[in-house]
């Protein structure tokens, strides 16, 4: 490995992204992969870009909710990174940021989503609460039992197979 500044183990999304940024910073990088790029989880996932706090963190006490909220700054950086990635790597990575929903069917679930959205807004994330009809307008397949949802326009999807290779 003479002439290499950084050895990256794994040619999944994280390994390839790290190698890309290191090369852009001037490092000489080698990637080692046991199989082929995207052979593991990076090539088999749905490609979801989800930045809202997971509801389970708010369902299990304030300490866990505080801990989860501490990553919101990273989520904001990630959103900006994803927004510019197609310009940087080309439209073939198929990044679509058209919004994401977390739904509620009961008053208790609505209360949890309201607490979640309040934490997200406090942390700088542009989440908002919408009613069930507004949620169904965005996602017509939603059940009539959905009474409310939290919505974040910055969420979406990327093609994991194309992205890692790019």
Q: Phi and psi at residue 16, in whole multiples of 5°?
A: -70, -40
Distance of alpha carbon 89 from alpha carbon 54, whole angstroms: 29
Alpha-helix residue ranges (DSSP H) falling in the chain: 13-24, 55-59, 62-69, 72-89, 107-122, 132-138, 160-165
Q: Return the minimum-mean-pLDDT range out of 31-35, 43-47, 142-146.
A: 43-47
CA distances from 45 to 13, 63, 99, 129 (A): 11, 30, 18, 28
d(CA 95, CA 88): 12
Question: Does the pLDDT of residue 105 top 90, yes or no?
Answer: yes
Residue 71: CB atoms within 10 Å:
14
- The arithmetic mean of pLDDT across residues 4-21, rounded, is 92
What's the confidence (pLDDT) of residue 38?
Answer: 85
In percent, how much of the chain has pLDDT > 90? 62
Tokens of 43: 């090539």
Mean pLDDT, range 96-122, rounded to an integer: 95
Is it the case that residue 10 has pLDDT exceeding 70? Answer: yes
**Residues 162, 3, 7, 94, Cα dihedral to 10°:** -10
The pTM score is 0.83
Q: Which of residues 59 and 126 earns the better pLDDT score?
A: 126
Region 20-24 average pLDDT: 93
DSSP 131: E
Q: What is the pLDDT of residues 64-88, one digit of tens each?
A: 888 888 999 999 999 999 999 888 8
Helix (H) or strand (E) holding 148: strand 148-152
């Amino acid at each position: 490995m003479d002439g290499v500044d950084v050895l990256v183990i794994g040619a999944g999304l994280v390994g390839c992204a790290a190698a890309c940024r290191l090369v852009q910073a001037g490092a000489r990088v080698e990637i080692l992969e046991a199989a082929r790029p995207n052979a593991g989880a990076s090539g088999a996932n749905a490609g979801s870009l989800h930045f809202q706090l997971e509801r389970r963190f708010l369902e299990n006490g304030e300490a866990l909710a505080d801990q989860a909220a501490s990553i919101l700054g990273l989520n904001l950086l990630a959103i900006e990174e994803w927004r510019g990635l197609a310009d940087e790597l080309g439209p073939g990575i198929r990044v679509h940021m058209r919004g994401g929903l977390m739904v509620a069917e009961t008053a208790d679930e609505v209360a949890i989503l309201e607490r979640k959205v309040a934490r997200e807004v406090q942390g700088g994330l542009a989440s908002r609460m919408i009613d069930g009809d507004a949620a169904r307008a965005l996602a017509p397949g939603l059940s009539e039992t959905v009474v409310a949802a939290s919505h974040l326009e910055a969420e979406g999807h990327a093609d994991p197979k194309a992205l890692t290779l790019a």
